[in-house]
Amino acid sequence: MNEIKSQRQIIQVGNSLAITIPANIARKLDVQKGDAIDVAFRNNIQLDNQFYTTLNAVIDQFDGALTQLRGEA
């Protein structure tokens, strides 16, 4: 699924905090009241081992092009 970004403010609903989903995004996601969704939260993102593994794979895949771009060919 493609990523849909929207910056939202946290609101208070009773004793809880909530984040609303804009109507246009709810329609695109085809979600309705009562549906269960998965939510991922990001704050102070840390680079993990998966990032470095992926980065190394990309560098290996494009090593020739990167070498040429650096003018080392």
Q: Which two tokens stand for residue 41?
A: 């939260």
- pLDDT tens digits for 15-30? 999 999 999 889 988 9
Q: What is the pLDDT of residues 6-65, one digit of tens each?
A: 888 999 999 999 999 999 889 988 999 999 988 877 776 677 888 889 999 998 998 988
pLDDT for the residue 15: 93
Q: In angstroms, rounded to a whole number, what is the distance separating the alpha carbons of residues 33 and 30?
A: 10
User: In the structure, what pLDDT confidence band is assigned to residue 1 with cuts at 50, 70 and 90?
Assistant: low
